[in-house]
């Protein structure tokens, strides 16, 4: 599966322009890249858990989606696509459908890490032939930037506000990619928005065309919740990888594979200082919080290296 940038970019868009997503939003960049990995001759059914992407790309009777589209509640994106995928195979067996369809659902971290986790887990455990893509922006952005279990430690959100008695969210973020990998499904990968999108594109292609269940966890920054300038999004994603806050890896048939190891691992401050939600960490009295943050990033990175070396 060679990556030819010009050829890839000339593929037709399956998420049309004109939607209402914010400038500098990582979610739509991720969705466009994932959908571009589809072969032009293949049709798709797109599921979408309630969230920013749903309310901004589909407002009846208008839609930005070029493929068949299903809006799901927060809690049932995995179940909805499981049912559609099962019905498709039954109808194709009876000869009532001849076209080739792929099944892809998108959900933010609120509808994936939290509210939709049971539904997602069931779809993965049953090994439905579908791809679940989590565009992880680290909070419930659609309803006011409330913390989710994907929110990183010490982030300032509307439900974990920084002030005299709080330094933001006290718990570390949930490692959902590892949780899904432990479902023993054919393909799991973690990626983000980098350069030519080669990493995300190739992982999307593998996820879509690997038989059985697949899960993609894509860090997709949010300019409103993270508080950065729209033009800084790619630099933020690069720093997330170079500091090992967001490592790039795959789990293929149970085998952990590290896709990228920085030549010089950058300190976590380089990533945190790009975002207003962490500005309190750079006050002199909070120096120890940065030390704790670095220790947690290092611990998780060493754990990942161990998994990939086995």
Tens of pLDDT, residues 223-277: 999 999 999 999 999 999 999 999 999 999 999 999 999 999 999 999 999 999 9
Cβ contact 200:34 at 8 Å: yes
The residue among 254 and 8 whose pLDDT is bigger is: 254
For the segment 11-42, what is each residue's pLDDT rounded down to a tens digit?
Answer: 989 999 889 999 999 999 999 999 999 999 99
Q: Structure pTM?
A: 0.97
- Is 178's pLDDT higher than 60? yes
Look up residue 102 and give its two tokens: 């792929």
User: Residue 4's pLDDT band (boundaries 50, 70, 90)?
Assistant: confident
Distance (Å) of CA 194 to CA 11, 79, 150, 199, 228: 19, 31, 20, 7, 17
For residue 189, the model assigns a pLDDT of: 98
For residue 6, the model assigns a pLDDT of: 86
For the segment 142-166, the average pLDDT, to the nearest whole number, is: 97
Closest CA to 53 of 152, 133, 146, 155: 133
For residue 286, the model assigns a pLDDT of: 96
Domains present along the chain, CATH in parentheses:
5-309 (3.40.50.970)
For the segment 79-124, what is each residue's pLDDT rounded down to a tens digit?
Answer: 999 999 999 999 999 999 999 999 999 999 999 999 999 999 999 9
Distance CA 1, CA 248 (A): 18
User: Residue 310's pLDDT band (boundaries 50, 70, 90)?
Assistant: confident
- Is 2's pLDDT higher than 80? no
């Amino acid at each position: 599966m060679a990556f030819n940038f010009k050829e890839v970019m000339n593929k037709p868009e399956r998420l049309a322009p004109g939607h209402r997503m914010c400038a500098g939003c990582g979610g739509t960049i991720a969705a466009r890249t994932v959908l571009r990995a589809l072969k032009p001759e293949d049709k798709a059914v797109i599921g979408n858990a309630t969230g920013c992407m749903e309310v901004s790309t589909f407002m009846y009777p208008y839609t930005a989606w070029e493929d068949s589209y299903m809006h799901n509640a927060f809690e049932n994106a995995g179940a909805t696509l499981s049912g559609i995928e099962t019905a498709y195979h039954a109808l194709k067996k009876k000869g009532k459908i001849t076209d080739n369809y792929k099944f892809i659902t998108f959900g933010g971290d609120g509808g994936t890490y939290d509210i939709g986790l049971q539904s997602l887990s069931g779809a993965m455990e049953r090994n439905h032939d579908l791809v679940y893509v989590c565009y992880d922006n680290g909070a419930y952005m659609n309803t006011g930037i409330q913390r989710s279990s994907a929110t990183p430690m010490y982030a300032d959100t509307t439900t974990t506000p920084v002030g005299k008695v709080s330094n933001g969210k006290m718990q570390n973020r949930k490692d959902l990619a590892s949780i899904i990998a432990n479902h023993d499904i054919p393909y799991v990968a973690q990626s983000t928005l980098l350069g030519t999108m080669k990493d995300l594109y190739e992982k999307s292609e593998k996820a879509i065309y690997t038989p059985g269940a697949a899960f993609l966890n894509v860090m997709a920054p949010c300019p409103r919740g993270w508080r950065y300038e729209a033009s800084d999004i790619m630099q933020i994603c690069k720093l997330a990888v170079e500091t090992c806050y967001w490592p790039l890896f795959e789990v293929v048939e149970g085998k952990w594979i590290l896709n990228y190891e920085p030549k010089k691992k950058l300190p976590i401050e380089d990533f945190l200082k790009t975002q207003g939600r962490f500005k309190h960490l750079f006050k002199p009295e909070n120096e120890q919080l940065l030390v704790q943050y670095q220790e947690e990033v290092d611990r998780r990175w060493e754990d990942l290296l161990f998994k990939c070396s086995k």
